[in-house]
Structure 1
Amino acid sequence: MASPLFTVITVCYNSEKTIERTLQSVLNQTEQDYEYLIIDGASTDGTLDVVRRYEPKFRGRLHIFSEKDNGIYDAMNKGIAKASGELIGLVNSDDYYEFDALENMKKAYLGLISSNEAHDHVILYGMQRRLRNSEEIEIEFVNHRILGEGMICHPTCFVSRAVYNDFGVYDTSYKSAADLDFLLRIKNTTDTQFAPVYHIISNFELGGMSASGRGAREAARVRCKYGVYSKVRMNYVIFQSRIIDFVHWVKRL
């Protein structure tokens, strides 16, 4: 059996309330040349019941793995190791794809191939709709040329398997900034081609750890590591994030 063009990976833990929308968004893709891997961290709620209910609908394309992991990036790395697709995408269990996300990525990838611009090492990335309580806030797009000052949203990315095979995966020492670390490392130290795709690929609900003060502090340290921030700027961002966390703590009293 030929390998699929795409591998889509969703990592999850106790995601019963949100994962159905994610599953539905993958199931409804207009492009069907994909496999879908669920990497579950041994959920204790009804997450796996929801996922297994969808298994017949994917007609052999959905593969479920459930075991304890050492955090989200460890789970992502496990999924990447199991992937057989040429292009690998990661969509979170509380995010979801646009219905034509894979179709638009395929068109962009085939366009690179037909123009002889495709490299073995390529990252295609697109636009993300940001929402709060299901209300659209903005459409976000960060060009790779200013990566670091801004952040390419990893659910909009499709990374060629060769990038992971040749240059490595996510650094599990991070709690929320390993995706930023990965993209900056790949951009700064490899020949990988970054190819923008000007379509909405994923939808993101605001909140979560990366939006917290801790996430801001990790991201600041990563940016300093790759020379985007000076140490002075890094320390200012870290100090500012601690003040914001303190204010939020006081408001909860």
Structure 2
Amino acid sequence: MVKPVLSIITVNFNNNLGLQETLRSIQSQSFTDYEHIIIDASSTDGSAETIVKYAAETPHLSYWVSEPDKGVYDGMNKGIAHAKGEYIFFLNSGDFLFNGNVLDSIPFDGTNYICGNLRIVYSNTEYEDIIPPEEVDGLFLLKSFLPHPASFIHHSLFENQTYRTDYRIVSDWIHMVDNIVLKGCSYKHVNILISNFDSTGLSSTNGSIGLYERNRWIKENIPARIYASLMELDNLKNSILGSIIPMANEKKRRTQKRMKKAVLLLSKILK
């Protein structure tokens, strides 16, 4: 296969029905410059048979395996090791692309981190749309996240850094913080609904574990005094006093750039 623009990686474990929905959404795409990689963790529910059938139906499946692994991030790292695309996109079993032409709408222009919108589906009638900000700074990512199943990540960001397997839930968030905030990689938000997210997955049903892991990483990587100062600054920005102080857009942009430079300087000091 000629080097594709996009590598779609799907990780699955005993979610055959969700996997089938994911595969249908990929097959329906009008965009064709992609390869698909499926990493199955020795499922026993018929998932392997579904993948064999899918392989016979599409020329885009470049690699798949069904074998034990050490968790979702280990599976994602296996997929990265076989990916050839300029960009990598993780669409795990149960998640599915919003419509048949959504990938045609993504500007694969060399930006390191391209992030769209995500719909979290709770039931047939309940959902929540996650819309990332136009600009991302350290304060945002220390408190929030970018939707991973709606993010297109340049392959170069994985050349010397894959996902940490000593974290069960937040390794993708750690990768975001390290690259976007500490290393200053380029970021772009596209105001397009990319995918629907399965709210029954590990990260959604184990929120307390995710909070513990995030706090653990912060304690290990950001000095307590500096973290407290950042939170105080954020509280001031969101306070009543902060809201009544007029601030032009240009001044706000300058403040965000200064904040980013401060966080980058902190990173160099810590290293």
Once the two structures are superposed, residues 59-87 of structure 1 have per-residue CA deviations (whole angstroms, 9 ceiling, x without a partner) of 25353212111111011011001000111
For normalisation by structure 1, the TM-score amounts to 0.80
| Partner secondary structure for residue 50 of structure 2 | helix
Partner residue in 2 for 1:137: 127
Is contact 2:115–2:132 with CA below 8 Å preserved after alignment? Answer: no
Does the Cα contact within 8 Å between 1:4 and 1:86 map onto a contact in 2?
yes
Residue-by-residue CA offset, 1:80-119 (whole Å, 9 max, x unaligned): 01000111100111111123332122xx224xxxxxxx45
Judged with a 3 Å threshold, the aligned counterparts in structure 2 of structure 1 residues 3 and 130 are, in CA distance, closer, same or farther, namely same
Matches within 5 A, 1:229-240: 230=228
CA contact (8 A) 1:95 1:203 kept: yes
* Cα separation, 1, equivalents of 2:227 and 2:191: 28
Match of 2:108 in 1: 109
Cα separation, 2, equivalents of 1:178 and 1:133: 27
Q: Does structure 2 retain, via aligned residues, the 8 Å contact 1:184–1:226?
A: no
Q: Which amino acid aligns with 1:132?
A: Y
Aligned to 1:203: 196
In structure 2, the gaps of 5 or more residues are: 232-271
Summarize the alignment of residues 213-252 of structure 1 with structure 2, pairs less than 5 Å apart: 213-225=208-220, 227=222, 230=228
Percent of pairs with identical residues: 29
Q: Distance in 1 between matches of 2:124 and 2:78?
A: 30
Matched, 1:12 2:20: no
Write the distance in 2 (CA, Å) between the matches of 1:147 and 1:21: 31
Q: Deviations over 1:12-62 (max 9, x none)?
A: 111112110000111111211100000111112211111222222212535
> Aligned pair 1:85/2:85, yes or no?
yes
Q: Distance in 1 between matches of 2:27 and 2:142?
A: 33
Deviation at 1:224, TM superposition (A): 4.5
Relative distance call for 1:223 and 1:202 in structure 2 (3 A) is: farther
Q: Which stretches in structure 1 are left out of the alignment for 5+ residues?
A: 111-117, 234-253
1:133 match: secondary structure: coil
